[in-house]
Structure 1
């Protein structure tokens, strides 16, 4: 049995998978925000609950909204700031009495979809989370690729490529939480989409409501979505020019905008060197469950 834990900013979810990937049990609890020790206790109690309910002991993988430093083995880059600087894996291993594998939550998405989801059968997978924030993960041969600095897939914190004049203004008006300006995250996250619509219309709306206005042929909503598509296309073309993955998987709230799968392939082409782009772009098959399933699949070869 494999146990996966998705440690999010608002909830912690646990899942148990059998050897074939079928769900045996799942449960979620609220995250003790701001309290590292209570967060570790909540994770430990979830693992024990899973094993009590299934009557089995399992391997443990955990997805976090950050990464482990290769130098210090402590958490870095987590937007759940109370995790940063903490020896999370070491503490959980002591509390659970076994090895624990840890990866970025977007890498867990990539692993989940590579194992038995939208990217099954592909060797090089680039998986994108476009929700409240923006992240990405890389899976190679079904395994999480973290990189020598633990930063593989930190696509959202590169600058938006090939900016036009309005995008330069946007980058000056909307700095990223990381402290830099012009990050892809500020443009192609769901938050960035809503921000651009507000800039155009003066009206605050969430992504789904804006997409609803597009369907009603609202011109400003259509303009916001068209600009969003172009920015996402340029950002993905950057990845193609560097990694050239065999498949791109989209997850997070904006991945539910169905027209992206029709518009992006043609929009990406002009920005790719040579003008050729035939990479499939697919919606995450497991949806919101991809992260927690991918955490469990951090142990892909368990017997």
Structure 2
């Protein structure tokens, strides 16, 4: 059995997973925001609890915000800012041994969906998170792809392709650049775009509701968002040519996205046909924690 942990900014969840991918036990606790040492204690407590449930020491995978620098071993790029600059892998290794693996939460989402989710039986899977932020992960033959900079799939921090005159230079991103895909395609970006154009503040859910009722401003907002998302995904297809793209995060629940993206992609993909499917995820909010557990192979044994 394996332990998967989804380390979030407000909550952290652990799951004991059977070899066939089924859930044996699950536990969710509040994340002690702003306190690195308390985060360490929480993670150790969760692993200890799951070990007792399993009756043995299990390998542990952790889905985390940001990534671990291959150069320094320190956490970087995390929106849970109290983790940045901390030696999380080393500190947990001291307390749990060499049985802990880490990956970005979007990578874990992609890995879960590639193993036995919407991307199963596809050779290359690009997993997309569309939520508070925009992230991604790449899986080839059910193996997570990780490069020397530990940023594979960070398409959210590339510029929106084929910007129109009205879009340039784009909103300011927290990374310091203008026009990142995250500032156009995330949930907050969808709401901000509606406010910018209409001077009306609505949540993404309210925008969708009003669009369904025929509100022309809301419909126009969704059309702009879909166009931008299609352009951004076309860039991914032009570079990686994945067999399937799986959408996750809160915005993946918007059913209008899928036919609209399929209709827009051919305008931007450098091919006479677009065979890449863009589909909704299978495991929903469980994908991150399941993908964390899948970081270990089937024959993994904890030290």
TM-score higher than 0.5: yes
Quick one: distance in 1 between partners of 2:299 and 2:287? 19
Structure 2 matches for 1:129-278, cutoff 5 A? 129-168=129-168, 171=170, 174-278=171-275
1:103 and 1:144 in contact (8 A); partners too: no
1:282 aligns with 2:293: no
Task: Say how many residue pairs are matched.
Answer: 300
Structure 2 matches for 1:73-112, cutoff 5 A? 73-112=73-112
Q: CA RMSD, aligned part only?
A: 1.1
Quick one: distance in 1 between partners of 2:233 and 2:20? 32
Quick one: distance in 2 between partners of 1:20 and 1:56? 18
1:294 aligns with 2:298: no
SS of residue in 2 equivalent to 1:177: coil
Cα drift, residue 275 of structure 1: 4.2
Q: Deviations over 1:238-281 (max 9, x none)?
A: 00110011100000011000111111112011101134212111
Structure 1: gaps of 5 or more residues:
none
Q: Deviations over 1:172-222 (max 9, x none)?
A: xx3101111110000000111011111122121111111111110110100
Cα drift, residue 284 of structure 1: 1.0
Cα drift, residue 111 of structure 1: 0.3
Cα drift, residue 55 of structure 1: 2.7
Quick one: distance in 1 between partners of 2:21 and 2:75? 28
Quick one: distance in 2 between partners of 1:196 and 1:275? 32
Structure 2 matches for 1:16-55, cutoff 5 A? 16-55=16-55
- TM-score, with normalisation over the residues of structure 1? 0.96
2:19 and 2:298 in contact (8 A); partners too: no
Cα drift, residue 56 of structure 1: 3.5
Cα drift, residue 300 of structure 1: 2.8
SS of residue in 2 equivalent to 1:168: coil
